Structure 1
Amino acid sequence: MAKSLRSKWKRKMRAEKRKKNAPKELARLKQALNLDKKGEAVMTDMQEIATVVPADKIKKEGDVEMAELEGDDGKMDLDRKRNKKTLLDENGQYPAWMGQRQAKKLKGKRMAQKSGKGKKKKGIAW
């Protein structure tokens, strides 16, 4: 896909627009960061807008969280217990990802096993 003349033209024009707007965008980014001559951002203006947290503090907190996660055995906590064969939970509900047709098919198999015989198949009876 995306090989039509119209899409080629649109891609070309978007590239032209990026070239044209790049200097303005760069100036706007620099203004937003309020860079001084050293190349470091002045944080006094940024503190009014957002909370400034040193990187060291964030790294330490991340290490603590990772240590807590490593203590876990790695298994998912499931609220509901499912029967692996029928895929039903304790309330008799199928999983959310299962479609109606598949659920109906599994229900038909369950009912056939319960009654001892299934639906009679259509076809030649000999």
Structure 2
Amino acid sequence: MAKSLRSKWKRKMRAEKRKKNAPKELARLKQALNLDKKGEAVMADVQEIATVVTADEIKKQKDVDMAEMEGAEGQMDLDGKRNKKTQLDENGQYPVWMSQRQAKKLKGKRMSKKSGKGNKKKKGIAW
């Protein structure tokens, strides 16, 4: 679809518009960053808007975070109160990620074992 004459013309016109507006856009960007003669931004104005953090501080903070992670050895918080066979927790609830169909299937297995009717064959046509 992008090969029609109309779309080619539109792309061409957009490219020309970008060329025409590029100098204005650059001037507006420099003015927004408040660049001085050397080409460096004035940090006093920027600090009012955002917190300025040097790269060294970020690296140090990352090293500290990594050391804390190694101390915890990266263990996940597993739900230890859940029965592994039935997937039920202490309140009799299935996990949120389990679909209704899976829960119904597990419930059917559980109920058939409880009532002892699990050995019967189902009625119907045997293929």
What TM-score do the two structures reach when normalised by structure 1? Answer: 0.71
The correspondence of residues 62-81 of structure 1 with structure 2, limited to 5 A, is 62-81=62-81
- Check the 8 A contact 1:82/1:90 in 2, yes or no: yes
Q: Distance in 2 between matches of 1:106 and 1:18?
A: 61
Identify the residue that residue 58 of structure 2 maps to in structure 1.
58
Identify the residue that residue 104 of structure 2 maps to in structure 1.
104
CA RMSD after TM alignment: 3.4
Give the direction of change, closer, same or farther, for the CA distance of 1:61–1:5 in structure 2 (3 Å limit).
same
Unaligned runs of 5+ in 1: none
One-letter code of the match for 1:75?
Q
Q: 1:41-76: CA deviations, max 9, x gaps?
A: 221111111122222222212211111111112221
- Check the 8 A contact 1:80/1:90 in 2, yes or no: no
Q: Distance in 2 between matches of 1:104 and 1:63?
A: 48
The correspondence of residues 17-56 of structure 1 with structure 2, limited to 5 A, is 17=14, 20-21=17-18, 23=22, 25-56=25-56
- Check the 8 A contact 1:88/1:94 in 2, yes or no: yes
Q: Distance in 2 between matches of 1:61 and 1:15?
A: 48
Q: Distance in 1 between matches of 2:81 and 2:25?
A: 54
Deviation of the 1:107 alpha carbon: 0.2
Between the aligned residues of both structures, percent identity stands at: 73
SS in 1 for 2:31: helix
Give the direction of change, closer, same or farther, for the CA distance of 1:50–1:124 in structure 2 (3 Å limit).
closer
Unaligned runs of 5+ in 2: none
- Tell me the matched-pair count: 121
Q: 1:65-102: CA deviations, max 9, x gaps?
A: 11111111222123552222211112211110111121
What TM-score do the two structures reach when normalised by structure 2? Answer: 0.70
Please state if 1:94 is matched with 2:87: no
